[in-house]
């Protein structure tokens, strides 16, 4: 990543090879159209190139940074096309709070991309109930608020909040147990 | 906010389910959150960010990378060009300045030289004009002097003419004495009006502190008729008023002596010219 900061195009090429499939998969999952997913991949890596100097390694891994960019861009695109929460952009504006370095440094879950983590995540998600998994996916991939999820699923808001909390904590605990 | 509520909010925050006012409120709370709360938030956010790892991976078509790399290389080239231009500018700027410095100096020196030439010419013109003014002033003074002399001459001539126009005039010729044999003079006088014109020629200029004095000899006694000075040997005319005698027969002679400046009651100096009336 430091080579990308130094405007090394070969380093960006390597970064692309490592993360493009993840970004493309996310994009397809979220926008559901290959052409838009391809556009998103281009946008994400152009932003990585243009804003590499803003990347703070101490506040997370390259993986987390790229996934965050990809998710925000995809959510923006979704909201634009579906007129959902139109006018509210996640890109650069939303989630402006920065978790302190110490909190990230102590977090064992900021891992790099690897087949081991992939298998762990699949196994962890398999432990969740369908409702918990659906709520997490609607929130993370679709950009829905808890209220929107409640309306979509026809369940009380409190239920959505509880299932979201329980599902994420179960996943966290599973991963912590396997990673530490 | 108790821990259960915090975890609930943090879970929604980590998955991106908080928006708008809810998001602002929670982020406001995070600014004063405890270290433990922040650690919990980091773990939940980290967990959520790993969700995509569970997706069945699909690679984008190769053309996507080609487009990305083309754009990146274009951006890199454009950025390099900007850097090069900036560097060139920063490097060239002093050179440009250096190149302009001699030009500027020459221009300034040229302006100074032009100004000096102009100033010199102006000073010369002023000096010439001052000299001309002095010359004009001298001419004016000379002309004034000549004018005064001419006026005096005219006055004397008028006086002479008046004397000559008198019904009765007497003329006495005076010849040079031993002191100045070449000198001579005349006195033309009107006994009735007791005025006279004295004309002297070839009298030496009176020395400093001396004046010529005209005497009327009556009953063998000299009577002062006035003093005069000459500055050259040419003919000079002087008007005499209140002549001491009215009867020519009473006059034994006219004489001119050189006396101390202002004259004396009695002659003490040498006689230059003298003559007796011819009755």
- The ipTM value here is 0.85
Contact (Cβ atoms closer than 8 angstroms) between residue A157 and residue A139: no
Question: Residue A24: which of B41, B50, B59 has the nearest Cβ?
Answer: B59
**Secondary structure of B206-230 in the HEC alphabet?**
CCCCEEEEEEEEECCEEEEEEEECC
Q: What pLDDT is attached to residue B246?
A: 73
A171 vs B134, residue with greater confidence: A171
Q: What pLDDT is attached to residue B167?
A: 81
CA distances from B105 to A12, B101, B111, B120 (A): 53, 6, 10, 22
Lowest-confidence region among A37-41, A163-167, B57-61, B244-248: B244-248
| pLDDT band with cut points at 50, 70 and 90 for residue A131 | very high
In this model, does residue B108 exceed pLDDT 60?
A: yes
Q: Which chain B residues have a beta carbon less than 8 Å from that of A88?
A: 19-20
In this model, does residue A118 exceed pLDDT 70?
A: yes
Q: What pLDDT is attached to residue A111?
A: 54
Question: Residue A172: which of B12, B47, B60 has the nearest Cβ?
Answer: B47
In this model, does residue A98 exceed pLDDT 60?
A: no
Give the number of other CB atoms < 10 A from CB of residue B112.
10
B128 vs B203, residue with greater confidence: B203
Q: Which chain B residues have a beta carbon less than 8 Å from that of A164?
A: 8, 11-12, 15, 17
- SS3 label, residue A9: helix
Instruction: Round to whole Å and give the CA distance between A169 and B8.
Output: 10
Give the number of other CB atoms < 10 A from CB of residue B29.
16
B85 vs B221, residue with greater confidence: B221
Q: What pLDDT is attached to residue B132?
A: 82
In this model, does residue B18 exceed pLDDT 80?
A: yes
Percent residues over pLDDT 70 in chain A? 78
CB-defined contacts A:B, below 8 A: 186
Read off the pLDDT of each residue in A40-62 and give the average, rounded to a whole number. 82
Interface test with B, best of A26, A37, A99 (most B CBs within 10 A): A99
In this model, does residue B114 exceed pLDDT 70?
A: yes
B91 vs A80, residue with greater confidence: A80
B246 vs A15, residue with greater confidence: A15
Residue A107 gets the label, from left (phi > 0), alpha (psi -120 to 50) or beta, of beta
User: Which of A51-60, A140-149, B29-38, B116-125 is modeled with the greatest confidence?
Assistant: A140-149
Lowest-confidence region among A1-10, A52-61, A122-131, B251-260: A52-61
In this model, does residue A45 exceed pLDDT 80?
A: yes
Q: What is the pLDDT of residues B226-245, one digit of tens each?
A: 998 887 767 788 888 888 77
Q: What pLDDT is attached to residue B170?
A: 86
Bridge partners, B275 (sequence order):
B254
Instruction: Round to whole Å and give the CA distance between A134 and A146.
Output: 12
CA distances from B139 to B125, B128, B131, B146 (A): 20, 16, 12, 10
Interchain CB contact of A58 with B (< 8 Å):
no
Q: What pLDDT is attached to residue A93?
A: 42
Read off the pLDDT of each residue in B218-227 and give the average, rounded to a whole number. 89
Q: Which chain B residues have a beta carbon less than 8 Å from that of A137?
A: 51
Read off the pLDDT of each residue in B37-41 and give the average, rounded to a whole number. 88
| pLDDT band with cut points at 50, 70 and 90 for residue A87 | very low
For B73, the enclosing helix (H) or strand (E) is helix B62-164
Percent residues over pLDDT 70 in chain B? 92
- From the number of C-beta atoms within 10 Å of its C-beta (0-12, 13-18, 19+), residue B53 rates as buried
Q: Which chain B residues have a beta carbon less than 8 Å from that of A20?
A: 59-60, 64-65
In this model, does residue A141 exceed pLDDT 70?
A: yes
Q: What is the pLDDT of residues A1-37, one digit of tens each?
A: 777 777 788 888 998 998 999 999 999 999 989 999 9
Would you give the DSSP letter of residue A103? Answer: H
Q: What pLDDT is attached to residue B242?
A: 81
Interchain CB contact of A104 with B (< 8 Å):
yes
Report how far apart the first and last C-alpha atoms of chain B are (Å, whole number): 160
Question: Residue B53: which of A113, A139, A164 has the nearest Cβ?
Answer: A113
Contact (Cβ atoms closer than 8 angstroms) between residue A167 and residue B33: no
Q: What is the pLDDT of residues B50-105, one digit of tens each?
A: 899 999 889 999 999 999 999 888 887 777 777 676 666 555 555 555 566 667 77
In this model, does residue B275 exceed pLDDT 80?
A: yes
Contact (Cβ atoms closer than 8 angstroms) between residue B257 and residue B213: yes
Read off the pLDDT of each residue in A152-180 and give the average, rounded to a whole number. 91
User: Which of A17-31, A103-117, B99-113 is modeled with the greatest confidence?
Assistant: A17-31
Contact (Cβ atoms closer than 8 angstroms) between residue A170 and residue A128: yes
Read off the pLDDT of each residue in B166-187 and give the average, rounded to a whole number. 90
Instruction: Round to whole Å and give the CA distance between B172 and A98.
Output: 140
| pLDDT band with cut points at 50, 70 and 90 for residue A38 | very high
Could you tell me whether strands B195-201 and B236-240 are parallel, antiparallel, or unpaired per DSSP bridges? antiparallel
Instruction: Give the pTM.
Output: 0.54
Q: Which chain A residues have a beta carbon less than 8 Å from that of B8?
A: 161-162, 164-165
- SS3 label, residue A86: coil
Contact (Cβ atoms closer than 8 angstroms) between residue B70 and residue B78: no
In this model, does residue B160 exceed pLDDT 80?
A: no
In this model, does residue A86 exceed pLDDT 50?
A: no
């Amino acid at each position: 990543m430091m080579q990308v900061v130094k405007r090394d195009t070969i380093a960006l090429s390597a970064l692309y090879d490592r993360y493009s499939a993840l970004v493309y998969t996310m994009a397809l999952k979220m926008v559901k159209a290959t052409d838009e997913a391809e556009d998103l991949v281009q946008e994400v890596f152009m932003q990585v190139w243009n804003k590499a100097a803003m990347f703070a390694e101490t506040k997370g891994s390259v993986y987390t940074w790229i996934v965050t960019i990809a998710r925000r861009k995809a959510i923006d695109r979704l909201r634009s096309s579906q007129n959902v929460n139109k006018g509210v952009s996640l890109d650069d504006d939303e989630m402006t709070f920065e978790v302190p370095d110490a909190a990230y440094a102590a977090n064992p879950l900021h891992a790099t991309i690897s087949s081991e983590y992939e298998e762990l995540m699949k196994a962890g998600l398999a432990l969740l109930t369908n409702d918990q998994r659906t709520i997490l996916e609607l929130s993370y991939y679709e950009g829905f608020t808890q209220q929107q999820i409640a309306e979509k699923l026809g369940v009380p808001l409190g239920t959505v909040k509880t299932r979201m909390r329980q599902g994420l904590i179960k996943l966290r605990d599973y991963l912590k147990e396997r990673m530490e | 906010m108790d821990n259960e509520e915090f975890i609930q909010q943090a879970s929604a925050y980590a998955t991106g389910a908080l928006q708008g006012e809810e998001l602002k409120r929670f982020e406001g709370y995070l600014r004063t959150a405890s270290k433990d709360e922040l650690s919990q938030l980091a773990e939940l956010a980290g967990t959520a960010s790993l969700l995509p790892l569970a997706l069945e991976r699909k690679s984008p078509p190769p053309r996507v990378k080609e487009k990305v790399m083309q754009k990146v290389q274009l951006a890199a080239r454009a950025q390099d060009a900007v850097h090069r231009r900036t560097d060139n500018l920063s490097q060239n700027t002093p050179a440009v300045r250096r190149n302009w410095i001699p030009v500027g100096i020459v221009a300034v020196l040229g302006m100074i030289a032009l100004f000096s030439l102009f100033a010199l010419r102006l000073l010369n013109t002023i000096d010439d004009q001052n000299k001309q003014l002095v010359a004009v002033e001298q001419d004016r003074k000379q002309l004034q002097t000549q004018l005064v002399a001419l006026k005096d001459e005219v006055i004397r001539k008028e006086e002479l003419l008046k004397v000559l126009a008198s019904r009765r005039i007497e003329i006495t010729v005076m010849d040079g004495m031993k002191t100045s044999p070449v000198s001579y003079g005349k006195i033309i006088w009107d006994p009735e009006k007791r005025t006279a014109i004295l004309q002297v020629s070839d009298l030496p200029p009176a020395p400093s502190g001396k004046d010529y004095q005209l005497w009327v000899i009556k009953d063998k006694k000299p009577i002062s008729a006035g003093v005069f000075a000459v500055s050259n040997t040419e003919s000079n005319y002087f008007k005499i008023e209140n002549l001491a005698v009215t009867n020519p027969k009473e006059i034994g002679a006219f004489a001119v002596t050189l006396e101390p400046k202002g004259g004396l009651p009695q002659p003490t100096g040498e006689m230059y010219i003298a003559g007796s009336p011819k009755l």
